[in-house]
Amino acid sequence: MTLPIRNVAIIAHVDHGKTTLVDALLKQSGIFREGEEVPDCVMDSNDIERERGITILSKNTAVQYKDTHINIVDTPGHADFGGEVERVLGMVDGCILIVDANEGPMPQTRFVLKKALEKGLRPIVVVNKIDRGQADPFVAIDKVLDLFIELGADDDQCEFPYLFASGMSGYAKDSLDDENVDMKPLFEAILHHVPPPVGDPTKPLQLQVTTLDYSEYVGRIVIGKIHNGTIYVGQQAALIKENGEIAKGKITKLMGFEGLKRIDLTEASAGNIIAVAGFADANIGETITNPDNPQALPLIKVDEPTLQMTFSVNDSPFAGQEGKLVTSRQVRDRLFRELETNVALRVEETDSPDKFLVSGRGELHLGILIENMRREGYEFQVSQPQVIYREVNGQPCEPYELLVLDVPEEAVGGCIERLGQRKGEMQDMLVGASNRTQLEFIIPARGLIGFRGEFMRITRGEGIMNHSFLDYRQICGDIVARRNGVLISFEEGVATYYALLNAEDRGVFFIAPGTKVYRGMIVGENTRPQDLELNICKTKQLTNHRASGGEELVQLQAPVEMSLERALEYIGSDELVEVTPKSIRLRKLSKKLVKR
């Protein structure tokens, strides 16, 4: 006898506590043995996810509660990874929308909720972090209701059930007056409000591929929900490709989910979320079905990319010194391999065999791909991100973003002024507690390129910035983003303390003494609008009247550290970011340099 099933996704704005809440559900479901060491954010298994504290890839887990098998899908909260959210919502029959009790709905809340409502799901709202100071759970619920109405939710969806919770402390409750105990109220809400999956086990098999994995032992593994029929090990099946072609194969391995582990199954029926091996060429959105009566499910549709950049083979003087995978063929193969699992990414070949046009959802989406590639040993260079224009109703249009800033009171004027220069239109301003103000803008996506560094300077690092794609609108005209010129290395060599000290009045540097540099490499930012070429390898001439250690030691200013994201936001249209496993360097695209 098969257990009753519930399939539910966890959706929320980034950093509102999805993964922590899933941690609490897993720990209290009894899947870990007593005394077993369980890390925090146990679902964030990727190295970059743990380092940055964000969820990038959607992941499956499952728990048992009161003889019901509950499949839980943890999804990313950042809009740049919206492709992950869109593809997994087709696997589930309900969702849990998590909202911060203090912040309320944020830009990505709007994005993920819109996708859930379009799928016809009725969310369970969990107001999280109620144990924190300044939390106002009922105001958060009112804002969520306003958002539901604004997004066109039907009457049933607007009558959403809600709970109060603290994922960190491991409890949920139906009323604020209830005693803090455990996550039982949330488990009960899932059983009561999430409908069981709709599917007929007697119909021909239909399983849609929503996630891909790989094992050295069985090859490609596809993960998806059985919409109809029954599947078992050794069964003959067919894969309906995206182009309509049918490839026959055999189910060599069948696995289900139990906590963080995959368990071997002999068979599974409609409604289950399972992992299957046996189809080496399967891609996301395709259907595994009965070979005698093949019936395809609708392909997964995701929003188109809004940002693109050029990936090219590294041709700097230091090319090939730090990376193992440096050729155009290796870079090309890696980019096209990414397309198999990253549904929101697009890769196009160009007229040059050494350059590839890569399109994604945003700077973070493309930045994570670049970071993964450099960790795998690839060496290449990328151009400044550019927005993708489209024609809508015969008019040229560009992507617009909804931008929400949380800033100290003294930084409000500066943010409004800078965003006005970038064609941003303020929609709302809310003065909150602790002298902080929340500003809401609608702004062209190209107006945000390079703004984050400026924003951090205006707010002295105390500001919080969130944005998500809104829609395509008519092009608003030229945007002149102000940035000073750059300091460029005059020759190849090693940067010296003496040369950097003498040039300190020229601007701020991105490098420290002892850094290897080459002609055309960007080493800092000028104090003036023009680019300036410097000899930063110059050494001090020593005579018998001058000893190398005979002068008072003068401290250099600390260099500005250029992370990958900061470098992508910083560079101009005539500049490149050189990416290697060990270094991030900025360089001029043109070999024609500005002479001193």
131 is in an annotated binding site: yes
Q: Is 179 exposed, middle or buried (0-12, 13-18, 19+ CB in 10 A)?
A: exposed
Residue 18 labeled ligand binder: yes
In the listed set 172, 193, 214, which residue is the last one of a domain according to the structure? 193
* Contact (Cβ atoms closer than 8 angstroms) between residue 365 and residue 311: no
- 27 shares its domain with 172: yes
Q: Determine, yes or no, domain membership for 53.
A: yes
Provide the pLDDT for residue 36.
Answer: 45
Give the CATH number, domain containing residue 438.
Answer: 3.30.70.240
Of 138, 169, 193, which one is at a domain's C-terminal end?
Answer: 193
Does 292 show up as a binding residue in the annotation? no
Phi and psi, residue 8, nearest 5°: -135, 140
Alpha-carbon separation of residue 180 from 66, 172, 173, 293 (angstroms): 21, 7, 7, 53
470 and 581 part of one domain: no
The per-residue pLDDT for 78 is 54
Instruction: Identify the H or E element spanning 437.
Output: strand 436-444
Do 185 and 218 belong to one domain? no
Annotated binding residue at 435?
A: no
Q: Please indicate, yes or no, if residue 379 is contained in any of the structural domains.
A: no
User: pLDDT value at position 156?
Assistant: 85
The CATH number of the domain where 134 resides is what?
A: 3.40.50.300
Task: Tell me whether residue 114 is annotated as binding.
Answer: no
pLDDT at 293: 84
The domain of 110 spans 5-193
Residue 594 has a pLDDT of 43
- CA distances (Å), origin 528, targets 76, 294, 308, 501: 41, 67, 29, 18
- Binding site annotation covers 130? yes
Contact 499/538 with Cβ under 8 angstroms? yes
385, HSE (Cβ side, Cα atoms, 13 Å): 28
Q: Both 529 and 409 in a single domain? A: no
User: Is there a domain that residue 358 lies in?
Assistant: no
Q: Are residues 136 and 177 in the same domain?
A: yes
What CATH number is given to the structural domain containing 248? 2.40.30.10
Residue 35 bridge partners (DSSP): none
Let me know whether 254 and 158 are in one domain. Answer: no
pLDDT of amino acid 544: 58
163 shares a domain with 66: yes
Residue 124 lies in a domain: yes
Nearest to 582 by CA among 267, 321, 216, 233: 321
Name the CA radius of gyration of the chain, rounded: 27
Q: Which pLDDT tens digits describe the chain residue by residue (596 residues)?
A: 467 888 888 887 666 677 778 777 777 766 554 444 444 444 444 455 444 445 444 567 888 888 888 888 877 655 555 556 767 787 888 888 888 888 788 767 777 788 888 888 888 999 888 887 777 888 888 888 988 888 888 888 888 888 888 878 888 888 888 887 888 888 888 888 888 888 888 888 889 888 777 777 777 788 888 888 888 888 898 888 888 888 888 888 888 887 767 888 888 888 888 888 888 888 778 889 988 888 888 887 766 788 899 999 998 898 888 888 889 999 999 998 888 777 778 899 989 889 999 998 777 788 888 988 998 999 999 998 888 888 888 888 888 888 888 888 888 899 998 888 888 899 888 886 667 888 889 999 888 887 877 888 888 888 878 777 788 888 887 776 667 889 999 889 999 888 888 888 888 999 888 899 999 999 999 888 888 898 888 887 766 555 555 444 667 788 888 888 888 888 888 889 999 999 899 998 865 444 44
Tell me, yes or no, whether 403 lies in a domain.
Answer: yes
CA distance 316 to 589: 10
In a domain, 198, yes or no: no
List 275's β-bridge partners, or say none: 223, 255
Say yes or no: 188 and 51 in one domain. Answer: yes
User: Which residue type sits at 99?
Assistant: V
CB neighbour burial string for 417-444, b if at least 16 within 10 angstroms, e if fewer: ebbeebbbeeeeeeeeeeebbbbebbbb
**Same domain? 111 vs 240:** no
Identify the H or E element spanning 64: strand 59-65
User: Which residue is listed with tokens 């030691």?
Assistant: 553
Best CA proximity match to 425, nearest among 463, 473, 363, 458: 473
Helices (H), 459-556: 497-502
Q: Are 93 and 41 contained in the same domain?
A: yes
| Mode of pairing for the β-strands spanning 236-240 and 253-258 | unpaired
Q: Quick one: 439 and 566 in the same domain?
A: no
Q: Considering its fold, how many domains does the chain have in total?
A: 4
Distance (Å, rounded) from C-alpha 268 to C-alpha 225?
A: 10
Q: What is the CATH number of the domain that holds 550?
A: 2.40.50.250
Residue among 402, 405, 441, 436 at smallest CA distance from 421: 441
Q: Do 255 and 187 share a structural domain?
A: no
Asked whether residue 302 is assigned to any structural domain, the reply reads no
315 in any annotated domain: no
Dihedral angle, C-alpha 407, 408, 414, 417, nearest 10 ° = 40
Domain boundary among 437, 454, 474: 474
